[in-house]
Amino acid sequence: MVKIGIELVPERETMETVKYIKHAEENGFQYAWVTDHYNNRNVYATLAVAAANTSKIRMGPGVTNPFLVFPAVTASAVATIDEISKGRAVMGIGAGDKGTLDQIGVEWKNPLTAVKEVVEICRLLWKGEAIKYDGQVFKIKNARLSYKPTGEIPVYIGAQGPKMLALAAELGDGALINASNPKDIEPAVKIIKETLKKVGKKEFDIVAYTSFSVDANKEEAKKMATYVVAFIAAAAPSVVLERHGIPESDVQQIRELIGAGKIGKAAKSVTDDMLEAFSIYGTPSECTEKMAKLVKIGVTQLVVGSPIAADKMKAIELIGKEVLPSL
């Protein structure tokens, strides 16, 4: 059966994010992914409080990266969450958002190699042994955690590009694909499945990390979605826009509005085609129908991501009652 996760951006007070995670657990969600950007509340502080206040839901950064935090520190941070949560930690790791890293002058060099190395380093340290690592990006002379993690910590790699998707399948326990539409998920699933076959791996969690907006009133759900879809469309590469038949000129206008800080106007310029391409939105039954299509093409975990709804508590309940039972 498909698993359900929730993505939370720790942009509000920490206890509010924790409240959502607790509520998600109570409403049948199995995973909570907390995003990592330096300008939001700290991901591990948030996860630590969430871990201490829940008992079933698995949780982890979704996703951290090897550039913002040194791999050995990430290994210890995730292992600490594993200890607090009694073995419920998962690690989402990716290349990092280049735009955010640029703001603080962090160089984004060899992202693919850096992701491979951080995963290898974390797994070695999680065994509790002293390690030496001579990578292309990271070199560790002698490191060891002073404690042993509770158990195996599953590693999920955030991936969109073909090489990162293949790396995720080869090295990870799962892939977090940042997309909502079958047209984007299907080619990613194909790369993952081909790679899994090549390396002879059977167990793997294929995760659709969606932009999701639900409301009993479709128009409300649609309105909420436009704010997030404006940013997704603005950042979408030409090849993705072409795949969905979205004219570059429509997106250019949104890019300019966002650049000028006119977010409300940018959201109003989002077209129906953009909404269909970059989000799952609508009433619970409409969302269920779109999610079922992703399951059909091989997705094994569906993550409900931003914006979710203006009232997240209500939406979590709505998903628990009206979406999850039908999936």
User: Which of residues 8, 18, 91, 95 is near ligand F42 by CB under 6 A?
Assistant: 95
301 near ligand F42 (CB under 6 A): no
66 near ligand F42 (CB under 6 A): no
Question: Cα–chain-centroid distance for residue 92?
Answer: 7
209 and 305 Cβ atoms separated by less than 8 Å: yes
Which listed range, 60-68, 187-195, 216-224, 266-274, lies at the site for ligand F42 (CB under 6 A)? 60-68
User: Which of residues 100, 195, 226, 283 is near ligand F42 by CB under 6 A?
Assistant: 100
**What is the three-class DSSP state of 299?**
coil
How many residues line the site for ligand F42 (CB under 6 A)?
26
User: Which of residues 17, 27, 30, 35 is near ligand F42 by CB under 6 A?
Assistant: 35
| CB of 102 vs ligand F42, minimal distance in Å | 11
Contact positions with ligand F42 (CB under 6 A) in 167-186: 176-178
Q: Report d(CA 9, CA 65) in Å as an integer.
A: 16
| CB of 91 vs ligand F42, minimal distance in Å | 12
**198-205 long-range CB contacts below 8 Å, 24 or more apart?**
199/169, 199/170, 201/169, 201/170, 203/173, 204/169, 204/172, 204/173, 204/174, 204/175, 204/300, 205/3, 205/154, 205/156, 205/173, 205/174, 205/175, 205/300, 205/301
Nearer to ligand F42, 176 or 274 (CB): 176
Of residues 137, 133, 134, 131, the one with CA closest to residue 113: 137
Which H or E element spans position 284? helix 284-296
Q: Report d(CA 66, CA 281) in Å as an integer.
A: 33
Q: Report d(CA 118, CA 121) in Å as an integer.
A: 5
| CB of 78 vs ligand F42, minimal distance in Å | 14
Residue nearest to ligand F42 (CB): 161
Nearer to ligand F42, 151 or 237 (CB): 237
14 near ligand F42 (CB under 6 A): no
Which listed range, 46-54, 104-112, 147-155, 294-302, lies at the site for ligand F42 (CB under 6 A)? 104-112
User: Which of residues 49, 112, 140, 143 is near ligand F42 by CB under 6 A?
Assistant: 112
The one-letter amino acid at 54 = T
135 near ligand F42 (CB under 6 A): no
Nearer to ligand F42, 35 or 269 (CB): 35
Nearer to ligand F42, 30 or 283 (CB): 30
| CB of 85 vs ligand F42, minimal distance in Å | 19
Nearer to ligand F42, 36 or 215 (CB): 36
C-alpha pair distances (Å), 51 with each of 45, 89, 257: 10, 9, 40
| Dihedral pair phi/psi, residue 135, rounded to 5° | -90, 180
The one-letter amino acid at 272 = D
Q: Which residues pair with 214 in a beta bridge?
A: 282
Nearer to ligand F42, 159 or 251 (CB): 159
213 near ligand F42 (CB under 6 A): no
120 and 135 Cβ atoms separated by less than 8 Å: yes
Which listed range, 29-37, 192-200, 233-241, 255-263, lies at the site for ligand F42 (CB under 6 A)? 29-37
71 near ligand F42 (CB under 6 A): no
Question: Rounded to the nearest 5 degrees, what angle is found at the Cα of 44, between the Cα atoms of 42 and 50?
Answer: 105
63 near ligand F42 (CB under 6 A): yes
Q: Report d(CA 189, CA 37) in Å as an integer.
A: 27
Q: Which residues lie near ligand F42 (CB under 6 A)?
A: 35-37, 62-63, 65, 94-97, 100, 110-113, 158-164, 176-178, 209
